[in-house]
Structure 1
Amino acid sequence: MKKLILSFALSMLSLTAFAQGQYEKIMTEKIAKIETCKTAEDFNALSNDFQRIADKEKGKWQPNYYAAFSQIQKGRVMMRENKMSELDAVADHAQEFVDLAEAADKNNSEIYLLQKMIYSLKMMVNPMERYITFGTKADEFLKKAEQLNPQNPRVTLIKAEDIYFTPEQFGGSKKNGMELFKAALEKFNSYKPKTALDPNWGKSEAEYFISLSAEK
């Protein structure tokens, strides 16, 4: 009887390990696709893929994190296409995933940063009218993300973007933004994610903006 129980326990452990291995394999494949997405449709499809994973993997924050991140990237593409009136819906969809990710992992710098990015999307619908509400909230969550992990290179990257693209009359500065891109790259060069599935995006963007400075 003891041998039977032990055999059953070992079988269950093997099945659990196999399922975890499959989960990590699928997640790794989907995360890699973030770098290849170009259009809003690409990011939307990828977000749906992560949502399906999240529906099966209850209690894990990463699938909902990446579902939200893909929606935010979709919104950023739409900003470049000047589709500002559609950003609220995209931001609201991303918010659903952020709420689920935060429920699974409280006080996570990466999740707070996504919250900041969501508020920034909503602000961009009408920056002059919405800065006091959504712009202020975006700043608040950026500060929280930095407090939770001052070494998070993505926090410095997003700070760099904000300063670089903000007009000088509103406190922006191409020069100061570029210095922050360089600071972000330094952090990326020494940064190691806690797990293979934790966020590791942003380094190529920092390198891109630094390359622009080198060309001048």
Structure 2
Amino acid sequence: MRKQILSFTLVLFSLLSFAQSAYEKVMKEKIAKIETSKTPEDFQILANDFQRIAEKEKGKWQPSYYAAFSYIQKGRILMRENKVQGLDEIADQAQKYLDEAQSVDKNAEIQLLQKMIYSLKMMVNPMERYMTFGTKATEQFAAAEKLDPNNPRIALIKAEDVYFTPAQYGGSQTKGIELFKMALDKYNSYKPKTDFDPNWGKSEAEYFVNQAPK
């Protein structure tokens, strides 16, 4: 009987180890694609991939987080192309998966994505929505920054906001570049807790820092 129990335990352990290693492999592959994805279609494919992982890994927040992030990136690309008609639907899809991530964990990375979702919704009609979604975005950003002030992605989004906001509304490309430099400094010293925790954005900070006059 003891041999049978031991054999069963070893088989179960082997199966669990195989499942874990398969999860780790596919997550690393998909996370690596974040840096190479450039189009809305790329990020939609990535969102679909992370959705499938999230369906199998209910106890982990990262797959749902990355599904939400992929939708957000899709929306941000369309926003920069002035294609705002579908942003509400995209933001709602991102919210669905971010809610799943928040049901497992609550952290600054998730709060930052919430800020980004509210910003997408605001950009559908900034004049009408600033007092609602703009205010919510500001509140979420402040909460994320308070929770993890050294987080480089928080610094990156702050730099973006300053850089792309028109001067008459308090924006400044010069100040934005300085904030991108601060973000890059944080990227160079910040260490994610695990291999699957967010680590995106450094290349964007580098790009804007390299645009600064020498």
Indicate whether the TM-score tops 0.5. Answer: yes
**TM bracket (short chain):** over 0.9
Which residue in 1 is equivalent to 2:94? 94
Give the corresponding residue for 1:78. Answer: 78
Alpha-carbon deviation of 1:158? 0.2
Structure 2 match to 1:2 = 2
Match of 1:43 in 2: 43
- Name the counterpart of 1:120: 119
Secondary structure of the residue aligned to 1:35 is helix
Greater mean deviation of Cα atoms: 26-35 or 1-10: 1-10
Q: 2:69 — aligned with what?
A: 69
Alignment partner, residue 161 of structure 2? 162
Query: Where does residue 203 of structure 1 map in the other structure?
Result: 202
Per-residue deviation, 1:6:
2.0
Deviations 1:37-70 (A, max 9, x none): 1211111111011001111111111111000000
Q: State the secondary structure of the residue aligned to 1:34.
A: helix
Partners in 2 of 1:145 and 1:102 — Cα distance? Answer: 13
Post-superposition Cα deviations, 1:157-210, rounded to whole Å, max 9, x if no partner, equal 000000111111111111221111111000000111111111100000000000
Count of residues in Structure 1 that have an aligned counterpart in Structure 2: 214
CA distance in 2, matches of 1:4, 1:203: 52
The AA in structure 2 aligned to 1:136 is T
**2: CA distance between counterparts of 1:20 and 1:136?**
41
Q: Distance in 1 between matches of 2:7 and 2:213?
A: 63
* Aligned-pair Cα RMSD in Å: 1.0
**One-letter code of the match for 2:100?**
L
- 1:145 alignment partner in structure 2: 144
2:65 & 2:100 partners in 1: Cα distance? 8
C-alpha distance in 2 between matches for 1:16 and 1:177: 47
Correspondence 1:52 to 2:60: no
Unaligned runs of 5+ in 2: none
- How far off its partner does 1:8 sit? 1.5
Q: Give the letter aligned to residue 138 of structure 2.
A: D
Per-residue deviation, 1:24: 0.7
Q: Aligned-pair distance for 1:27?
A: 0.7
Calculate the TM-score normalised by the size of structure 1.
0.96
Identical-pair percentage = 69
**Paired residue type of 2:185:** E
Alignment-mate amino acid for residue 202 of structure 2: K
Q: Tell me if 1:13 matches 2:24.
A: no
Residue segments in structure 1 that go unaligned for 5+ positions in a row: none
